[in-house]
A and B are shown apart, each in its own frame.
Chain A
Amino acid sequence: MSLRTRYVLFAISATGLTALLLWGLAGLPDFGRFGGSYGVTLNDVAVAQRHATNVVAAIVWDYRALDTMGEELILFASVMATSLLLREAREREADRSEDAVHGETIRAVGLALVGILVVVGLYTVAHGIVTPGGGFQGGVVLASGLIVVYLAGSYRTYRRVGPTALVDFGEGVGVGGYVGIGLAGMAFGAAFLANFLPLGTKGTLASAGTITALNVASGLAVAAAFVLLVMEFLQELMVMRLEEAEK
């Protein structure tokens, strides 16, 4: 296709796209006007019904807990697929590989950062039902704390802090726990993933019934998933270095 034809094609499609976009924008509701009646209703009733002051958490782990289970399983399936494709037969050898030692400053700052990240991660998971945050966000923060161990330390240390047996187990318990809490609801005569635990006092950490339990299960599953994902990628790098050293 010649450059001229491409320009003509681009001109036609760009004009069409612009026209469609402008037409769509003209039909939007005014800025700041929210037309979702479902959201307004939940805002009014969620705190009284579920004792979770963060309405988003009440939606994610209660009213729409089944959707969240689907998302959890998507993350689980994709991380498992990555592990299947990338897990190396030479895992044990790679675990012994030595990284170049970083400067004192990087190690000191990194070490300080690990503690801060783990505390912020735990805080974000624990307070998910009270303030913005929750298992997903806190889980990734927790995992990034471990990733800083690699960045400031070495792959060897990363693997020692998060060995496969422990992380695999955590991932299984997180995802299985989520489904298990749903089934436990059925055992108590409620619907799947219905809130069957005592709701407690509004605004405290031990409130909102199964929302809190599902939140913690999600946090565990997400943290383990990201630690596993990064481990598989880094392992590729380590095995490549091994092969290069053998040459």
Chain B
Amino acid sequence: MIPLQVVTLVLVLLGAVSVVAARDVVRLTLANALYGLLLVVLFLVFQSPDVALSALVVSVVALPLVLVVAIAKGRGG
């Protein structure tokens, strides 16, 4: 394992903990998107650019958007 891979793994670990630790739903959504972005970096570092692109569009664009709209509706617009 090269140092870059170790650093990325540690960052992903920290990202995952931050998602679990977030209590407010909006913060949780943002933390989750950031965690998704860290996973994208992980896939890239581990030489899976195709998976990285899929993860990028799903976890950074599609999922946060659906969550934010659902939260907005829950709060009454």
Give the interface of A toward B (CB within 8 A).
31-32, 54, 56, 124, 132-134, 136-137, 140-141, 144, 147, 226, 229-230, 233-234, 236-237, 240-241, 244
Contact = CB atoms under 8 A, between A and B. Distances in A.
B50 interface: yes
A132 B77 contact: no
B20 interface: no
A140 B58 CA distance: 8
A246 to B, nearest CB: 13
Which of B1, B53, B66, B73: most chain A CB closer than 10 A?
B53
27 contacts: A32-B1, A124-B53, A132-B50, A132-B52, A132-B53, A133-B50, A133-B53, A134-B50, A137-B50, A137-B56, A140-B57, A140-B58, A140-B62, A141-B57, A141-B61, A144-B57, A144-B61, A229-B62, A229-B66, A233-B66, A233-B70, A234-B69, A236-B73, A240-B77, A241-B77, A244-B76, A244-B77
Interface residues of B, number: 19
B65 interface: yes
Contacts of B52: 132
Contact of B65 (A32, A230, A237, A244): A230
A226 B49 contact: no
Which of A54, A132, A133, A134: most chain B CB closer than 10 A?
A132
Contacts of B57: 136-137, 140-141, 144
A117 to B, nearest CB: 10
A137 B43 CA distance: 15
A137 B61 CA distance: 11
| Chain A binding surface, main DSSP class | helix
Given A240-B77, A241-B77, A136 B69 contact: no
A235 B12 CA distance: 35
B59 to A, nearest CB: 11
| A-B pairs, 5 with minimum CB distance | A140-B57, A132-B49, A137-B53, A233-B69, A56-B50
Given A140-B62, A226-B62, A230-B65, A237 B54 contact: no
Interface string B30-69: 0000000000000000000110111011100110011001
B10 interface: no
Contacts of A233: 66, 69-70, 73
Nearest to B60: A144
B7 to A, nearest CB: 15
A147 B62 CA distance: 10
Given A124-B53, A137-B53, 13 more contacts: A132-B49, A132-B53, A133-B53, A136-B54, A140-B58, A140-B62, A141-B61, A144-B57, A144-B61, A230-B69, A237-B69, A237-B72, A241-B77
B1 to A, nearest CB: 6
Nearest to B1: A31
B76 A137 contact: no
A141 B61 CA distance: 8
Contacts of A132: 49-50, 52-53
